[in-house]
Amino acid sequence: MQTPLTPMEFARRARSIYGDREAVVDGDGRWTYEAFLERCDRWSAGLQSLGVEQGDRVAYIAPNTHGHLEGYYAVPQIGAVIVPLNYRLLPSDWAYMLNHSGARVLCVHEDFLDLVDSVREELGGVEHFVALEGEKEGWLDYEALVADAAALFARPEISEGDLLAINYTSGTTSNPKGVMITHRNAWVNAVGTLVHHPMTSADRYLWTLPMFHANGWTFVWIVTAAGGTHVCARSVDAATVFELAAAEEVSVLCAAPTVLIMIASAPEELRSTAPRGVRVLTAGAPPAAHTIQRVEGDLGWTVTHVYGLTETAPLISVCEVRSEHEALSSEERARHKARQGVELITSGELRVVDDDGNDVPRDGETVGEIVVRGNVVMEGYYRDPEATARAFRGGWFHSGDAAVVDPDGYMLIRDRIKDVIISGGENISSVEVEGVLLAHPAVQEVAVVGLPHEKWGEAPHAFIVPKAGMTMDAAELVDFARGRLAGFKIPKGVTVLDELPKTATGKIQKYVLRGQKAAIHAQ
């Protein structure tokens, strides 16, 4: 009586129980679960009419639209593999990933049709180019294909170990790697997330997180599992977030720390419109306690910090709130919430180990690497056995993140291992320094990296984005850090920028900042 663990079951259940409830909002478009899933069925039939078979890859380049969301059901329910691509990359990046994945069908939002056409001759394996919106010569019309297809398709037998998605990593130091996520990986992550971050059919989820980012942290399926409403946000700026949150009575959203900062720093006239009680899941980079405190204190929202990687489907830990935390001050509670926390019930075993593979002591000081094994860990890197073997050495997936474990068993990331600053023989956590500097009233965003230093080898250097209308004095910032940080951790240099270089998912590109090669002179 066993049935495969697949998020396609969430769609079957939602259609049966919540068929007449609102499933998707995208601008003026609104669809019930019955109407939304019928469209998915029609697109499944349309894909099969184009020759797509079980195991074939179907790629997407699109913002958060209903057409993009439909792909996460229409593609996998016929046994094909969805390949969502970062729409902010260069056409040459798309060409590499499309050729590497072997995608046969490419579905593209109208904003990117011309860019794809610029590399079309390089895409020999793509047989069908589909315009999700808009019209262009040489492109199939998505809406016409959906309208012309019957809502009947040949449903293959799907095993939970079958490939569901190939999600490409950012590829900051080499070609991006294709992370193979199975139906079981996605199902387990979705259910585990719902255990720790419950949702109901009354919830309305705002799509501030890109759907292409690790399948929207599997919220493309989580919202449907709960019978909630997907509210699509095609762009993410403060005005859009607050407008949709108020108009659509949003109750849940996901956000990287950079988006949290944007929300917390929005003008008062926007923040005053925000509904109270919104539940926010944050991940993607370690958030500063100060940012959490501002979102919770100013807006009355609740922030839950989770941690994971594309390779782990993606969530493996949650900063679970304990009853004893309620007695803490808002500042102390925010510091607790800034930790990466403990493993999810369903994610598998999570450890922090030293170079010999031994667990580090729970002293909040000894740094080790986060390793994990369990049901959310990827099948491997697509067509890259060497990288897969390196990642799985010793029978554990190695995250590349450096962390400590506090006495209560909660994990706290100190840095990416490659981002740890070694100054005069001392290890410095850039995350710790950033958390202190973000508390300065004039600082909007900050990134700290190690740059060459003629005396210490390398030393921390702070790149600062000041708040709108405010100026930043380097000496003032250094004085602010003094007394809050050990002397060797205080930045030896400060650079003020209009903005920090970031990926499309809001992660700061520290490798770009480290490209500043000029030696820092002692101050």
Taking only the tens place, the pLDDT of each residue in 22-43 is 999 999 999 999 999 999 999 9
Alpha-carbon span 352 to 360, nearest angstrom: 6
The predicted pLDDT at position 452 comes to 84
The predicted pLDDT at position 88 comes to 86
- Give, for all 523 residues of the chain, the pLDDT tens digit: 889 999 999 999 999 999 999 999 999 999 999 999 999 999 999 999 999 999 999 999 999 999 999 999 999 999 999 999 999 888 999 999 999 999 999 999 999 999 999 999 999 999 999 999 999 999 999 999 999 999 999 999 999 999 999 999 875 556 889 999 999 999 999 999 999 999 999 999 999 999 999 999 999 999 999 999 999 999 999 999 999 999 999 999 999 888 998 999 899 999 999 999 999 999 987 788 888 999 999 999 999 999 999 999 999 999 998 888 888 888 898 888 999 999 999 999 999 999 999 999 999 999 999 999 999 999 999 999 999 999 999 999 999 999 999 999 999 998 888 787 878 767 788 888 998 999 999 999 999 998 888 778 788 999 999 998 888 888 889 999 987 888 889 999 999 999 998 876 677 888 888 876 443 433 3
Q: Please, what is the Cα angle at 177 between 174 and 179, to 5 degrees?
A: 160
Residues 6 or more apart from 365 whose CB is under 8 A from it? Answer: 404
Alpha-carbon span 210 to 207, nearest angstrom: 7
The predicted pLDDT at position 456 comes to 80
Alpha-carbon span 291 to 273, nearest angstrom: 19
Q: What does DSSP assign to residue 324?
A: G
Contact between 409 and 319 under an 8 Å Cβ cutoff? The reply is: no
The residues that bridge with 157 in the sheet, in sequence order, are none
Report which residue type is found at 108: V
Alpha-carbon span 392 to 274, nearest angstrom: 44
The predicted pLDDT at position 522 comes to 34
- Torsion region of 292: left, alpha or beta (phi above 0 gives left; psi -120 to 50 gives alpha): alpha
Task: Show the tokens assigned to 449.
Answer: 């990296």
What domains are defined for the chain?
30-182 (3.40.50.12780), 236-416 (3.40.50.12780), 420-513 (3.30.300.30)
Alpha-carbon span 513 to 511, nearest angstrom: 5
The predicted pLDDT at position 520 comes to 41
The predicted pLDDT at position 425 comes to 67
Q: 3-state DSSP call for residue 265?
A: coil
Bond before 491 cis per omega within 30 degrees:
no
Alpha-carbon span 465 to 329, nearest angstrom: 28
Alpha-carbon span 408 to 364, nearest angstrom: 9
The predicted pLDDT at position 516 comes to 61
The residues that bridge with 167 in the sheet, in sequence order, are 179
Report which residue type is found at 81: V
- Torsion region of 390: left, alpha or beta (phi above 0 gives left; psi -120 to 50 gives alpha): alpha
Q: Report which of 489, 387, 503 is spatially closest to residue 431, judged by C-alpha positions.
A: 489
Residues 6 or more apart from 53 whose CB is under 8 A from it? Answer: 79, 80
Contact between 276 and 498 under an 8 Å Cβ cutoff? The reply is: no
Alpha-carbon span 315 to 336, nearest angstrom: 19
The predicted pLDDT at position 173 comes to 54
Q: Please, what is the Cα angle at 98 between 93 and 101, to 5 degrees?
A: 120
Alpha-carbon span 24 to 35, nearest angstrom: 10
For residue 307, the surrounding DSSP H or E stretch is: strand 302-308
* DSSP3 helix / strand / coil % (the chain, rounded to 5): 35, 25, 40
